[in-house]
């Protein structure tokens, strides 16, 4: 699948990727980095999970998700050429796949009040992700392993977001088909990207993308819980344990990188940790008895969610501060 590569080629390519990685978007009309779509996905998934709880909570998270979505859409509409440039990078192109993933969760929320438009949005999100996936595959598959990083998970395993939300549109059969494909992709990409991270140097702005390692397993687990037909408890427990291990491996890195200078790649810790906590809470309900959630898993999930939301809030504040600085810099130079 991948060609062999030499050290000089690796060095040249990685330097090229470091130059292309969007550390900030000062020259964009709306100063919005593509990585903001990771926060959009996190808040969309969180809102979807909070429905049925306290209305003020999910209304706040929904409002934030809609603002983030609007900023991303305005960025694309104001400079469509920049989108093509983003897709030409295997890093940024993969990160952008969080946008249709977030739309899938947003569609499931909208379905409660406008079923028709919500179904169109859900189908459109899945189609958009497939377009991104095909474009990414044509551009990059067959290139050296050093070409790729953790955003490849978002491209090939990300469609599982549609499997998570499929029951809202009575599309469980389609969800199971998506799970089969994304499960195969997960088996291929996880060991490859672990090997790539351990053997190939990573440019400094790209380093926090290690957080995405915590994303694919819980996303796949949530898809299994939502679309699979009565999955075996042993399978659910096994997937949850793997998800928890990934969460625990990534969590200390999140706090470490948050103490460093800002980079948009910090968004990698937002949706990854949020989805991990939500997967634990769903597994607790599934593995419980007599209609009650499993108490141990419920406690773990609550703690995970508290930590994930704390990190998400810090990241949102840091992104807002960076956008404000970008705006002030632009006013100073014009």
pLDDT at 333 over 90: no
pLDDT of residue 17: 44
The pTM (predicted TM-score) of the whole model is 0.88
Q: What domains, with CATH codes, occur in the chain?
A: 23-323 (1.50.10.150)
Predicted confidence band at 30 (pLDDT cuts at 50, 70, 90)? low
Answer yes or no: is pLDDT of 50 > 70.
yes
130-177 confidence digits (pLDDT tens): 999 999 999 999 999 999 999 999 999 999 999 999 999 999 999 999
Mean pLDDT of the 116-121 span: 94
Task: Label each residue of the chain as H, E or C.
Answer: CCCCCCHHHHHHHHHHHHHHCCCCCCCCCCCCCCCHHHHHHHHHHHHHHHCCCCHHHHHHHHHHHHHHHHHHHHHHHHCHHHHHHHHCCHHHHHHCCHHHHHHHHHHHHHCCCCHHHHHHHHHHHHHHHHHHHHHHHHHHCCCCHHHCCCHHHHHHCCCHHHHHHHHHHCCHHHHHHHHHHHHHHHHHHHHHHHHHHHHCCCCHHHHHHHHHHHCHHHHHHHHHHHHCCCCCHHHHHHHHHHHHHHHHHHHHHHHHHHCCCCCHHHHHHHHHHHHHHHHHHHHHHHHCECCECCHHHHHHHHHHHHHHHHHHHHHHHHHHHHHHHHHHHHHHHC
List pLDDT tens digits, range 231-282.
999 999 999 999 999 999 999 999 999 999 999 999 999 999 999 999 999 9
């Amino acid at each position: 699948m991948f060609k062999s590569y030499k050290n000089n080629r690796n060095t040249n390519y990685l330097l090229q990727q470091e130059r292309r990685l969007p550390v900030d978007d000062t020259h964009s009309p709306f100063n919005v980095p593509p990585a903001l779509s990771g926060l959009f996905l996190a808040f969309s998934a969180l809102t979807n999970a909070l429905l049925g709880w306290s209305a003020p909570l999910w209304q706040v998270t929904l409002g934030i998700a809609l603002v983030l979505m609007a900023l991303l859409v305005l960025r694309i509409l104001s400079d469509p050429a920049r989108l093509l440039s983003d897709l030409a990078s295997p890093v940024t192109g993969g990160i952008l796949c969080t946008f249709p993933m977030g739309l899938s969760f947003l569609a499931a929320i909208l379905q409660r009040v406008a079923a028709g438009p919500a179904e169109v949005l859900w189908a459109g999100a899945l189609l958009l992700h497939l377009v991104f996936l095909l474009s990414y595959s044509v551009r990059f598959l067959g290139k050296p392993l050093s070409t790729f990083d953790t955003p490849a998970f978002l491209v090939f395993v990300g469609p599982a977001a549609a499997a998570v939300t499929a029951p809202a549109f009575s599309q469980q059969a389609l969800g199971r088909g998506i799970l089969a494909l994304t499960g195969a992709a997960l088996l291929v990409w996880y060991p490859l990207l672990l090997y790539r991270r351990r053997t190939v140097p990573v440019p400094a702005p790209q380093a926090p993308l290690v957080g995405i390692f915590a994303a694919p397993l819980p996303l796949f687990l949530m898809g299994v819980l939502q679309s699979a037909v009565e999955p075996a408890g042993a399978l659910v427990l096994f997937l949850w344990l793997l998800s928890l291990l990934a969460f625990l491996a990534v969590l200390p890195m999140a706090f470490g990188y948050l103490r460093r200078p800002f980079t948009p790649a910090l968004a990698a810790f937002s949706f990854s940790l949020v989805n991990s906590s939500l997967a634990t809470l769903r597994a607790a309900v599934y593995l419980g008895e007599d209609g009650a959630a499993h108490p141990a898993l419920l406690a773990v999930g609550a703690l995970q969610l508290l930590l994930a939301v704390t990190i998400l809030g810090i990241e949102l504040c840091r992104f807002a501060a960076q956008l404000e600085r970008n705006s002030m810099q632009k006013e100073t130079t014009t």
